[in-house]
Structure 1
Amino acid sequence: MKTLTLKDGTEIFYKDFGSGQPIFFHHGWPLSSDDWDAQIMYFLERGYRVIAHDRRGHGRSTQTAVGNDMDTFASDVNELVEHLDLKNTIHVGHSTGGGEAIRYAAKYGKGRVSKVVLIGAVTPYMIKNENNPKGVPIEVLDDIRNNTKNNRYQFFKELPIPFYGFNRDGAKLIEGLRDNWWRQGMMGGVKAQYDSVKAFSETDFTEDLKTVDVPVLVLHGDDDQIVPYEATALRSIELLQKGKIIIYPGLSHGMLTVNADIINKSILDFIKS
């Protein structure tokens, strides 16, 4: 088990396997680095160095009561990157982790980041308003907050159903995957998870997307019931200097796990391009 104690005393758990060009994975809410198992094994076997951390307040890292915001998340990543002296790194972020990855790349990544991959990412902005009519109504986010605060043990049993698209006709419920989502969620701290709803939904990543000058791959499923692709992916690609986008028909928010073969190949092709 590897941990890094940050300057504010927070302990960050991380995995660091292999050698070669580094790939740094940023997990989604309210999960942990374990959500990247399929990618860690795939890229490790292909000669890459793979790094994945548990964000503060999540997984095996310190259950923080403060600092649960996107600027701090990016700063934490920077401390870990500098500790490991990572260079020429591909940063891959899913959902909330996509926001963290692009904020890190924009603010700290010059000379260290070679490419970025955003998977079902919350960028540039999730909330529905007059400028983002396809976004998520604030009432939906308030409901997530309320359930996380008061009922997360049951809520974390229910949310994986739309997360992985198990509620669609013909979909087969994978109980182990649902249980693993619950396990990861319940490892984290309720205060950090509650605060992080605001961080992932109300942070505006417009300027981050505009600033990043390395190639960025945007991957999204058009049946994502958690982060609508029309409000995020289609808007992100318009802001990027060197962006490429793939929208997968019928795939869910959890496609990096249930469709790992498709997603891993897309990432590998992008890395090699």
Structure 2
Amino acid sequence: MAFITTDDGTTIFYKDHGSGQPVLFSHGWPLSADAWDAQMVFMGQHGFRVIAHDRRGHGRSDQAWDGNHMDRYADDLASLIDQLDLRDIILVGHSTGGGEITHYVGRHGTDRVAKMVLVGAVPPLMAKTDANPEGLPIDVFDGIRKGTFDDRSQFYRDLSLPFYGYNRDGATISEGVRESFWLQGMMGGLKGQLDCIHEFSEVDYTTGLRRIDVPTLFIHGDDDQIVPIGAAALKAHPLVPGSELKIYQGGAHGLTATEQDRFNADLLAFATADIRQAVAA
């Protein structure tokens, strides 16, 4: 069990395996580093050092009462990077994790970053506003708050169906994947998970996106029921010059699990691609 301690005294759990160029994974809500296990093994077997942490309030990290906001999440990530002295990093973020790595760049720059991969990611802004009519109404996120507060155990069980597209006709349902989603969610603390809903829904990540100056890959399913592609990757991709967008036809939000082999192959191909070619693309 490995931990770092941040400057506000919060302990953050992380996994760190292998050697080579570091690939640092940031998970979605309400999950933990365990959501990346298959990718960590796969990339580790292909010669990369793989690291993933539990966001504060999630998984095995401290269930802090304060600091459950994106500025602090990004600074926690910076603390992990600094304390492990990681350089030439490939940052990979899913959903809220995509917001986290984008906000990290917005606050700390790309001096230590080589490439970025945003998967089903929340940037630039999920909530509907006058300036963001493609977003989801705030009532949607209020419903998530209520479901999480009233009975998060049942809410997480129910949420796993659209998360992985298991509510679609003809879907092959893995009860194991659903149970893993529930278990990871229940490992975290209620206060931190409630606070995090605001961070993935109402924080505008446009400034961070505009600061990205490294090769970047967006991957998004066009049947993502949690983070609809129209308000996310289709708007974020043009804000990052030279970035690439891969759309998974019929892909769900949890495509790292439902299309694991395809995603792993795409991640490896991007990680090993010549950086100069990626920038010119």
**TM-score range with shorter-chain normalisation?**
over 0.9
| Residue 261 (str. 1) matches residue 266 (str. 2) | no
User: Where does structure 1 lack aligned partners over 5 or more consecutive residues?
Assistant: none
User: Which residue of structure 2 lines up, in the alignment, with residue 92 of structure 1?
Assistant: 92
The aligned counterpart of 1:242 is 242
Look up the match of 2:117. Answer: 117
Q: CA deviation at 1:135?
A: 1.3
8 A Cα contact 2:109 2:211, kept in partner: no
TM-score (norm 2): 0.96
Paired position in structure 1 for 2:201: 201
Structure 1 residue 109: Cα displacement: 3.7
What amino acid maps onto 1:61 in structure 2? S
Letter in 2 for 1:120: G
The match for 1:157 is 157
Offset of 1:272 from its aligned partner? 1.8
Question: Partner of 2:231: helix, strand, or coil?
Answer: coil
8 A contact 1:134–1:228 mirrored in 2: no
Match of residue 177 from structure 1 = 177
Say how many residue pairs are matched: 273
Distance, in Å, in 2 between the alignment partners of 1:106 and 1:69 is 15
Percent identity, aligned pairs only, is 52
Please give the secondary structure, in 2, of the residue aligned with 1:230.
helix
Describe the SS at the equivalent of 1:63: coil
Whichever residue aligns with residue 223 of structure 2, its letter is: D
Structure 1 CA distance for aligned equivalents of residues 110 and 172 of structure 2: 43
Deviation beyond 2 Å, 4+ runs, structure 1: 129-134
How many Å apart are 1:34 and its aligned residue? 0.2
Task: Provide closer, same or farther for how the CA distance between residues 77 and 25 of structure 1 changes in structure 2, counting only shifts above 3 A.
Answer: same
Distance across 1 between alignment mates of 2:160 and 2:245: 25
Distance 1:212 1:172 in 2: 37
Aligned to 1:74: 74
The alpha carbon displacement at 1:242 in A equals 2.7
Distance (Å, rounded) in 2 between the aligned partners of 1:72 and 1:5: 13
Cα deviation digits, residues 125-174 of structure 1 (max 9, x gap):
00122332221111010000111111101101100000000000100211
Letter in 2 for 1:170: G
Paired residue for 2:230?
A: 230
- The answer to whether 1:103 aligns with 2:103 is yes
Query: Given residue 71 of structure 1, which amino acid in structure 2 is its aligned partner?
Result: D
Aligned to 2:279: none
The separation in 1 between residues aligned to 2:163 and 2:140, in whole angstroms, is: 14
Q: How much does 1:61 deviate? A: 0.3
The whole-number CA distance in structure 2 between the counterparts of 1:30 and 1:149 is 13
Q: Is the 8 A contact 1:33 1:59 kept in 2?
A: yes
What is the distance in 2 between the residues matched to 1:128 and 1:7?
35
Preserved contact between residue 118 and residue 219 of structure 1 (Cα < 8 Å): yes
The Cα of 1:14 is off from its aligned counterpart by 0.2
Q: Per-residue displacement from partner, 1:214-239 (whole Å, max 9, x unpaired)?
A: 11110000000000001110000111
Instruction: Give the distance between the partners of 1:212 and 1:76, measured in 2 at CA.
Output: 19
Give me the CA root mean square deviation: 0.8
